[in-house]
Structure 1
Amino acid sequence: MAPPRYGDASPSSPRAGIGFLPVLSANLLPLVGVLWFGWNPETLLAVYALELLLLFPLSGVKALFAGRPPTSSREGGVLSRSESDLVDKRGSVTIHDRLPPVYPRNVPFATAVVGGGAWVGVFLLAPLSEVVSVLDVLARPEAVVSVAALVVGQVGETAAAFLRGDRYAERSPYALVEIPARQAMFLACFLFVVVLGGATVALAAFVLVKLLFEWSGFRADRGGGGRLTGWLAGPDSEATREALDVPDGRPAAEIDVDRRAVVAAAVWRAVTTTGPFYVTMAAMVWIGGTAFVAEEASLAVWVGFGLFGLALFGFMLAGDVVEDTLASGWLTYRRFGGRLVAHDRLTGEPQWAAAVGDFRDAGVVATRPTDRYLGTRTIAATVGRGDDETERAFGPVADAERVVEAFDLPVESTTLPPLDRRFVWAAVASVVLTAVGVVTVVVTPLGPSTSWLLALFLFPIFAIVPKGFWTLAHS
C-alpha cells in the first residue's frame, strides 16, 4: 500500500491528549529529579535549554516528509528559503517502503532550521551562562540522561503521531520549521528576564512556560489551538500546485542535463557566493559559544567549539551544493510536437511545460565559469507574459547546438565570448593582495591582538572584489 500524500492523508490519528503523553512525561522526569533526588535547579534549566537546541535537527528531519507545498510568500516567518529554486520542485522520492516519501523541495527548510538552531544556541547560552556553567552540567551523568529522555520523548511522539499517524501528508515544511524557531526565540527572550530573579525563580517560571510552549507547539503541529498556538505555527500555508499539461506518447526529442557540470556549478556558487558568509557565521558560533560556556575556556573547549563551527560550515556549504544539484541534476528536456516539457528523472514528475514557440530573448549564459572549462553550455530564455512571465534555463548540457535545434530556441550562437584577461588578472591580484594584507595584520605587530577575529568577520567583504572582477571577465 502506497503511503498517503498531500490531499489524501488519513484523518485518523491519536487523540491530542494521548499523543502528548510521551512529551509530558519526558518533561516531568527532570523535575522529579529536582524534587526527590536533590538535583540543582540550575541543572534543570540547562537541561531544558539543551533539549530545545536538539529539537532543531529533529524538526529538519520532520520537514523532509511534509507533503503540503510551501507558500511562495513567507514574509511573516522567522525562517525563509523563498530564494531557493528547489522550493518549487514537484514530486517526491521513496527511500524505504516503511518511510513516508521525502520531498526534495523541503531540503532548503531542513538545512535552514539546522543553521538557525546554531544561531539560537548562541543566544540561549548568553543568559543561561549567567546562572549555570553549561560544562558542569554536561559533566553530570544525570543531566545527560535527562536531556536524552527529553529528546527520546520528542522522537517517540514524532514516530508515533507524525509518521505513523500520516499527519506528514497535510503539513507544510514552513510550519514545521517555524514552530521550534518561534519557541526558541520566545524562550531565549524569556531567559534574559528570569535570569534577574535567580535560579529558583527561573526554574519555576521556565518549567511552566516550557510546558505551555510544548503543548502549544504540539497543538500547532496539528492545526488547532488558540492565539499562542497560531503564532507558533506561523503564517498559514494554503499553497496548491496545478497539474501540468503533458502530452501522451513518446517524445520526439529528449536531452539530459550534464550532471557533472551541475555539481561543479553548485560547488562554485556555494564557495563564491554563500561560503564567505558561512565562514563569518561559523566563526561567530565558535567564538560566542566558547565565551558563553565558560568564563576561562580551556584549550579543549576552544577546539571543541572550533570543530563544531567547522562542521556547521561544512553542513551549510554541502546543503547549498545538494540543493542546487537536486534542483536540476536529473532534468530531461522532452519535446512532444509543439510542447516542451522539463521532466525530473529523480522524482518522476514534470517540472514545467511550455509551447515551443513561446520562448524569446534566448541566449547562452556567459558568466558560468564551469561551462567554459567543462565545455558545457547553459541557455536562458524568457517565456510567458505579464504575471506569468518567467525565465527558464536549459542546461548545463553537453551539446548546446542540439538543444537549440531540437527545441527551436531563438539563439544566434552557442559560442562563449572570450575572457577579458585584464579582469582575470585583476581578480587574481585582488586575492593575492588581500591575503598578504590579512596575514601581515594578523601575524605581525602591525595589527591589534584580535585582528584575526576582525579578519573572520570581514571575510564576506574580502570576497566581493575578486568575485566582481571574475564576473566582469566572463561577461
Structure 2
Amino acid sequence: MGSPRIRPDAATVVAAGLLAVIGANLLPLVGVLAWGWDLTSLLIVYWVEALATVLLAALKALFAERGSPSVPGGIEPLHELRAKRGGWQPRDGWPPIYPRNVPFALSILGFWVVTVCPLTFLYLSWVSPTAALSPSLGLSIVALLVAQASSFVSEYVGDERYRDVSAREVLRTPGLLGLVIVTLGWLGTAGRAGGLVVLAGAVLAKTGVSASRFYADRVGRPILHLGERFGGGAAFSEPPPELDVPEAAVIARVAADRRSVLLGSVGAIGFGFVHRLGLCTLAAFGFALLVRDPPLIAVTGLAVLAVVAARVLSYYLRYGTVEYRRRGDALVAYDRLLDAPQWIVSVEPTMDVSVRNAIADRLLGTGTLVVSGVDSVDRDEVRLGPVRDVDRAVERLDLPVARTDRPDRDPAAIAACAGLSLLFLAVPAGLFLTPRVETSTAVGVSVAFGPFFVLLVGVLVWAALSRI
C-alpha cells in the first residue's frame, strides 16, 4: 500500500472506527448465544455482507485514483482499458470514473458470479437448509447494509479516500469475505453445523479479518505484519499514470476514423471471452442449447450479447475517441472524451514508424500506423489510427514515414485459407446432415469441440481477409 495516512490527531478516529468494526462484527455472536442462530443464519448474514461488499468494492474501484500494478499471469475482462489514461466525471462534485479500473471491477464481479454463486446453489441443494428468517436476522442485515452505504458516502467519497487507493487495493477485502463464506459452507456440508464452538469461532475469525482489513486500510500497514507473511510484500498501488501535455501550441490535428474503429472491433470480440467470466458465459450458453430450454437460452444468449457489446464499446473507447496532435516536436495522442493525453512521443528522423496491415483498413481504405519505442507507455508500441487518409495524416503531422502502402493482394493465400475453413466447417455440418447421428449427439459434440473449430476458422478467416 501507499505511505501511511494516519496523523497523530487522527489516532482517536481510527481507534473509534476499529472498535465500531469489532462491535458490528461481534453482533452475530449475540445472535448465536442469545437468539439461537445456526450456521445457516450466519451464512445468510455473511453472504449478504459479502455481496454488498463486492458491489461497493466494484463501485469504489471505478473511482480509485492511484494506478494498479499488473496482475502476474492474469487477464481481466476488457483488459485493454488498462492502458487508458484520464477519467470521466459524470457530474460536478462527483469523483471521476477511471476506465482503467473497469477491468478490476468486472474481475471481482466475475469471480463472484463464477465461484461464490455456484457454490451457494450447490450448498443449498446439498444441505437443504431450513432456516427461518427472524426479525433479529432481518435487523442485522439492514444494519449491515446501512453501515456499508454510510461508510462509502462519508469516508470513501466524503473524505476523498479514493485519491489514496488503487483498484487492486480496494478489491482485496471481498476476496477475504468470500473465503469466510466458502469455509462456513464447507463446515455445513461436513455436517458440523451444530457446534457452538464452531459458530463462535467463525464469528471471531470473521471479526479478526474485518478488523485487520480496517486497520491496514486506514493506517497503511497490517496488524502483526500478517499481510507481509501471506502477501509476500506485493505492491498493490502505484502513482497515477497521468501524463503532462507539452506546452507547445497545437499545429496539426488528425482524428481517428470511427467507421474503421467500429469495424475493427468485430475482430476483437473473440478476445472478450478469453477469461473466466467469458468462458463461463459461453459454456452456459452451450449448455442451454444442449438442454433446449428456451428461457435459459434467452438468458445466456443475452449474457453473450452483453459481453460482445462491452467488447465493442471498450474497443471504441480505446481508439475511437482519440485525436492525434502535433505540438512542436512532440506527437500527442489525446483522448477528447476523457480530456487526457494517452501517449507522447518525440518526432525525430530516427522515429520507428511502420504501416499496420489491418483488415478494416483494407476494406474501408483507411490506414493505421504503428509507432515503436514510445517511452511514455509500458508496452513496446502504440497505434496511430485508423485515420481516413493515412498519406494526408503523415503530411499534416509531419512524420518521418517514407511508404504507407500495405502488402499486395495474395489470391493464393486467400483461396487456401477459404478452402481450409470450409473443410473444418464440414465436420460439424456433417454431424447434423448424417441420419446415423442423433441431433442430441450432434449438438453435444458441437458444444464440446465447437470452441476449437471456431478458433481455427477464425484464424483462417483473419488470414484470408488480411490478404485481400
Contact 1:57/1:114 (8 A) holds in 2: yes
Call closer, same or farther: CA 1:67–1:344 in 2, change over 3 Å. same
Q: Residues of 2 paired with 1:197 and 1:157: CA distance? A: 37
- Select 2:213's aligned residue among 208, 213, 217: 217
The residue type equivalent to 2:451 in the other structure is: P
Unaligned runs of 5+ in 2: none
Q: Residues of 1 paired with 2:435 and 2:172: CA distance? A: 40
Call closer, same or farther: CA 1:323–1:34 in 2, change over 3 Å. same
The residue type equivalent to 1:433 in the other structure is: A
Give the number of aligned pairs. 449
Call closer, same or farther: CA 1:232–1:437 in 2, change over 3 Å. farther
* Alignment partner, residue 296 of structure 1: none
TM-score, normalization: structure 1? 0.77
* Alignment partner, residue 60 of structure 1: 58
Cα deviation digits, residues 108-148 of structure 1 (max 9, x gap): 111222112212225632773476437x66x9586777656
Q: Residues of 2 paired with 1:351 and 1:249: CA distance? A: 17
Call closer, same or farther: CA 1:358–1:90 in 2, change over 3 Å. farther
Q: Residues of 1 paired with 2:296 and 2:88: CA distance? A: 35
Secondary structure of 2:250's counterpart equals coil
Q: Residues of 1 paired with 2:303 and 2:119: CA distance? A: 17
Secondary structure of 2:103's counterpart equals helix
The residue type equivalent to 1:348 in the other structure is: D
Larger radius of gyration: 2
Q: Residues of 1 paired with 2:435 and 2:164: CA distance? A: 53
| 2:399 matches 1:403 | no
RMSD: 4.3
The residue type equivalent to 1:225 in the other structure is: P
Q: Residues of 2 paired with 1:315 and 1:10: CA distance? A: 43
Call closer, same or farther: CA 1:472–1:228 in 2, change over 3 Å. same
Kindly report which structure 2 residues correspond to 1:180-259, keeping only aligned pairs within 5 A, or say none.
Answer: 180-185=174-179, 187-189=181-183, 191-192=185-186, 195-201=189-195, 203-222=199-218, 223-226=220-223, 227-229=225-227, 231=230, 235-240=234-239, 244=243, 246-259=245-258
* Alignment partner, residue 425 of structure 1: 418
Kindly report which structure 2 residues correspond to 1:149-160, keeping only aligned pairs within 5 A, or say none.
Answer: 149-160=143-154
Contact 1:111/1:319 (8 A) holds in 2: no
Unaligned runs of 5+ in 1: 1-5, 291-298
Q: Residues of 1 paired with 2:301 and 2:208: CA distance? A: 35
* Alignment partner, residue 320 of structure 1: 311
* Alignment partner, residue 381 of structure 1: 371
Call closer, same or farther: CA 1:162–1:266 in 2, change over 3 Å. same
Contact 1:282/1:309 (8 A) holds in 2: yes
- Which stretch of the first structure deviates more once superposed, 159-168 or 148-157? 148-157
Call closer, same or farther: CA 1:466–1:243 in 2, change over 3 Å. closer
Contact 2:256/2:320 (8 A) holds in 1: yes
Contact 1:261/1:376 (8 A) holds in 2: yes
- Select 2:114's aligned residue among 116, 119, 133: 119
| 2:355 matches 1:364 | yes
Contact 2:50/2:178 (8 A) holds in 1: yes
* Alignment partner, residue 262 of structure 1: 261
Cα deviation digits, residues 399-432 of structure 1 (max 9, x gap): 2111222332425134564364315533652574
Query: Aligned-pair distance for 1:179?
Result: 2.8
Identical-pair percentage: 27
Query: Aligned-pair distance for 1:66?
Result: 0.5
The residue type equivalent to 1:262 in the other structure is: V
The residue type equivalent to 2:390 in the other structure is: A
Query: Aligned-pair distance for 1:257?
Result: 1.0
